[in-house]
Amino acid sequence: MSANSFRVCVVGAGSSGIAAVKVLAERGIDVDCCELSDRVGGNWVWGNRNGVSAAYRSLHINTSRQRMEFSDFPMPANLPDFARHDQIADYFAAYTEHFGFGDRIRFGTGVTHVEPQPDGSFAVTLSTGDTERYDAVLVANGHHWDPRLPEPMFPGVEGFRGEVMHSHSYTEESQLAGRRVVVVGMGNSAMDIAVDASYHAAETYLSARRGVHVIPKYVWGKPYDQIAGKEWLPSALRWPVARRLMAAATGPMTRYGLPAPDHKFAQAHPTMSSRILDRLAHGAITPVPNIERFDGDDVVFADGRRVAADLVVFCTGYKISFPFFDRDFLDPSGDNEIRLYRRVFHPAVPGLYFVGLVQPLGAIMPIAERQALLIADHLQGRYHLPGAAAMEREIDTHRRRISRRYVASKRHTIQVDYDDYMRDLRLERRRGARRPAGRTPADRPVASAAAREEIPA
């Protein structure tokens, strides 16, 4: 590494990784992206060669086209409001091609180890066996690929004669065909898989440990997220408006045989599905409470009901995982969370950034794009972090807000309100531009003077 070279590594070329590579490449920053697969798109590539995509044949996104597209690359107008996985993957490929940064991506190359060095750089070891030095690392490895099974697992599972799997292993309807299927969970994976099962399985049960507010994809003929989703609309107005619309559109969840939610609307990550309500109304799905135990061929539920089942699909969510960091350096496995200033900056490790590590009530792509702008500004010395104590305070305040606002669950540790967070990123960029440099070691200007000069304004 020469004194003037300044190199950035992006881990992963999913929707967040490509947004970051595009922004950094446009700024003239020397960026490499390592991607295990042979293509961009990560989770949206059904059957992705990287082996970790959670996509299934029937997957359609639950954020509308206009709310998920990147700011400078509209999705084709001939796509449906809620696009299918392959249309989304094609859109990401077209984005990469259009902005011409594909040559920055090393396909078929995983990152196996990232080790911060005493001089502030990072040693990045690749699946090729090579180790390279980088000045900054952007982690964009996604957070929907490492399955979380119930912890602890329900008793009796070892003697269960049916099959047990996590939704991550679900890829197509043939896995359900003709079987008696129990789908566990009330998130979006559970909705989609229960609907698939309702057409292909012999019997379908949907097991909920808690009720949720199921949001239909359209209200008043418009994609639901386009009605109240506006950056300028204060959340104190947004959610009451949305709640009323939803209540008018669906009525109470108990009307469909689902348990009444134990929380208010928008106090949980949204479960969006028009089709589940339809299939419940048709009697094609039987709602059941949480599993109590397994017993031979049977699954026994908390209300004492028992059903013979061939397959139980645990749609119980994902863990945040960074297999390339040493556990004593960074390990979110306990509480499924990680302390990041503005959900992007490691407060104690200069040059370590996270992109797309949020679960928005909305789409992640425009968020990743805006996070990348902030990171690029920081790399160029145009944005500065506040002092260490201020960063810790911001992180604590955010955590307090999350625990007050959302149902206590490991699925909510990285939750953000899309519009509020987008506004926050925009304002934070301005605030950071006015801050003095060097209030914290994490603000060390990472681009050398020479590299900064090379960067076009």
Residues of this chain, 234-273, that bind ligand NDP according to CB under 6 A: 268-269
| Rounded Cα gap, residues 126 and 161, in angstroms | 41
Quick one: which of 229, 242, 246, 250 has its CA closest to 362?
229
Q: Nearest distance from residue 188's CB to ligand NDP, in Å?
A: 4
Q: Nearest distance from residue 412's CB to ligand NDP, in Å?
A: 8
Instruction: State which residue, 405 or 452, has the beta carbon closest to ligand NDP.
Output: 405
Structure tokens that stand for 230 in this block: 């506006």
Q: Nearest distance from residue 167's CB to ligand NDP, in Å?
A: 5
Residue 433, judged by CB atoms within 10 A of its CB (0-12, 13-18, 19+), counts as exposed
Instruction: State which residue, 147 or 347, has the beta carbon closest to ligand NDP.
Output: 147
Task: Note whether 61 binds ligand NDP by CB under 6 A.
Answer: yes
Each residue 120-159 as x (binds ligand NDP by CB under 6 A) or -, in order, gives ------------------------x-----x---------
Phi, psi of 79 (to 5 degrees): -80, 155
Which part of the chain contacts ligand NDP (CB under 6 A), choosing from 96-104, 183-191, 378-386, 442-450?
Answer: 183-191
Task: Note whether 213 binds ligand NDP by CB under 6 A.
Answer: no
Which one of residues 88, 194, 311, 315 is an interface residue with ligand NDP (CB under 6 A)?
A: 315
| Rounded Cα gap, residues 291 and 208, in angstroms | 8
CB burial of 288-323 (b: ≥16 within 10 Å; e: otherwise) equals: bebbbebeeebbbbeeeebbebbbbbbbbbbbbbbe
Task: Note whether 366 binds ligand NDP by CB under 6 A.
Answer: no
Q: Nearest distance from residue 34's CB to ligand NDP, in Å?
A: 23
Q: Nearest distance from residue 40's CB to ligand NDP, in Å?
A: 18
Each residue 278-297 as x (binds ligand NDP by CB under 6 A) or -, in order, gives ------------x-------
| Rounded Cα gap, residues 224 and 215, in angstroms | 8
| Rounded Cα gap, residues 39 and 88, in angstroms | 13
Task: Note whether 189 binds ligand NDP by CB under 6 A.
Answer: yes
Structure tokens that stand for 8 in this block: 């950035």
Instruction: State which residue, 314 or 322, has the beta carbon closest to ligand NDP.
Output: 314
| Number of C-beta neighbours around residue 345 at 10 A | 26
Each residue 82-121 as x (binds ligand NDP by CB under 6 A) or -, in order, gives ----------------------------------------
| Rounded Cα gap, residues 302 and 295, in angstroms | 13
| Rounded Cα gap, residues 384 and 342, in angstroms | 13
Residues of this chain, 343-362, that bind ligand NDP according to CB under 6 A: 359
For 240, left (φ over 0), alpha (ψ -120 to 50), or beta? Answer: alpha
**H or E element in which residue 126 lies:** strand 122-126
Which part of the chain contacts ligand NDP (CB under 6 A), choosing from 93-101, 169-177, 186-194, 347-355?
Answer: 186-194
- Per CB under 6 A, residues contacting ligand NDP are 59-62, 144, 150, 167, 184-190, 192, 209-210, 268-269, 290, 315-318, 359, 407, 409, 411
